Amino acid sequence: MKVRRVLRITSCIANVLLLCAGSVILLALAQFDIVAEAESSISAGIISFIAVLLLFLFFIIEFVAMLCISDSTFHTAVLAMFLFLYAMFSRDMYAFYKLTGIPQMLLVGQLAQYFSFVGLEVSVLVYLRYDYCKNGRKLPLYPIFLVAALSLILFIILYHSYSRIIVCFFFLFAAVFYYIIINARCCILSSDNATFALTSAIFFACAGAQSANELNHAGFAPYIRGLTVTYLGVCILCFFGIYLAFFIRVSKKAGNAEDYKLQNERLKMKLLMEQIKPHFIFNALTAIKSRYHSDIAAGDNALDLFSEYMRKSLSLTDTEKIPFTAELQNIRYYIDFINTMRDDPFEIIFDIAVSDFYVPAFSLQPFVENAVKYSNVNKKEGGNITVSSAEDGGFIAVTISDNGDGFDVSALKEGAHGINNARERLELLLNADVRINSKISQGTQVHIRIKRDKCKP
């Protein structure tokens, strides 16, 4: 949190400097007439042309990414396109056009630059709103589009009047106000990051450059060669920073995915060992043998149930998630088999209100086994276990309860490998919240709460 706070403060200071620096410099040097020198500067034109080429490269990268990867890069492709167009008609490019003999570009330069500036600022705001306000109510887009359209119309009408500077600063004020709202919401949701800060810097760099340009066009201040290309250089560095942040984020996700895979494999191996633990198999075979001595049909039934239970156990341990109904069937097999060893079977009750979701294989059964092993529900007259599920807003609530003897929950931390494994797998695969409540002589309740969108196959 401390790093994020420092990033926010640094970003705010940098944005204010980017917005104001160019205008302050021009107004401070208003007594010097250096416009002619700026327009004749070949070096500024060449550097601007190099900046245009770099920004065109960014646009091509974003455009190809939009086509090949997903439509989620549409916003950054539009942003790169308007930034490239803005650089194409920047004041420092005038010298390059004169050098290459393309005077037509000078005729549409100011108008095209303002159009691309408005498009760039709006595209940045739409990108920030789309990508960083997913957890909250999004701002409506129509106000900023309405202001942008009105600004462009008035700019055309007042194109030959110095009063058009009022139009520019009217749009700039509205855009910055809209940005402040987005930034405040992102701070509250803690959804801003390095990419957010770098994109914001592009927004304010172009705003600062355009403010200086309009002061010059309106005759309030001279122009300094290289000023716009300096702002464009900041934008280029920000784009490089965005790509660097993207690669770092992807690399981190890849590392987390590898850790996730290794942890999941470890848990699946532990699950397999739990399912084929020797003492359970030996006890089961002994019980089946005793059944055959007393009743061949009962022995056949017990053997069939044991065989089906083991077959399911071994076949599903390599499956990450299974339907909730399949997990209930596994529980049914387990209870039916346990009851073959008893003269007075206990009851399993299913109270299922919702079943169209997935859970990790054998993630609920250990909690049922716990009711048998620790809560002794199988030894209690009228003992029963209830498995229920219900929809709770955007969550699914699964509850496993019994009317057994209860137990000390703290004893699970060391000895209950099956329960701890099940809890880990539910948290790892579904980000579930698992809570176990038990009181001596009052039974046990296991509450599992899962987000609906995490329960997909």
Q: What are the tens digits of pLDDT across the range 188-247?
A: 877 778 888 889 999 999 999 888 888 877 777 777 778 888 898 899 999 888 888 877
Q: What are phi and psi of 408, to 5 degrees?
A: -85, 115
With 0.85 as the threshold, say if the pTM is over it: no
Q: Grade residue 254 by pLDDT with cuts at 50, 70 and 90.
A: low
Predicted confidence at residue 117, as pLDDT, reads 92
Mean residue pLDDT across the chain: 78
> Among 24-38, 191-205, 324-338, which stretch is predicted with the lowest mean pLDDT?
24-38
Predicted confidence at residue 122, as pLDDT, reads 93
Q: What are phi and psi of 436, to 5 degrees?
A: -115, 120
Predicted confidence at residue 38, as pLDDT, reads 43
Average pLDDT, integer, range 243-269: 65
> Among 14-28, 177-191, 280-294, 335-349, which stretch is predicted with the lowest mean pLDDT?
280-294
Q: What are phi and psi of 354, to 5 degrees?
A: -145, 135
Predicted confidence at residue 35, as pLDDT, reads 44
H-run or E-run covering 446: strand 443-451
Spacing of C-alpha 225 from chain mean position = 43
Q: Which residue has the higher pLDDT, 368 or 298?
A: 368
Candidate ranges 29-43, 208-222, 283-297; pick with highest mean pLDDT: 208-222
Percent of the chain with pLDDT over 70: 78
Average pLDDT, integer, range 151-159: 89
Question: Which residue has 């021009």 as its token pair?
Answer: 26
Question: Which residue has 């492709």 as its token pair?
Answer: 77
Of 109, 99, 108, 91, which Cα lies nearest the Cα of 48? 91
> Among 92-101, 286-295, 409-418, which stretch is predicted with the lowest mean pLDDT?
409-418
Strand 433-439: give its sheet, edge to edge: 347-352, 384-392, 395-402, 443-451, 433-439
Average pLDDT, integer, range 117-128: 91
Percent of the chain with pLDDT over 90: 12
Q: Which residue has the higher pLDDT, 134 or 56?
A: 56
Q: What are phi and psi of 394, to 5 degrees?
A: -90, 15
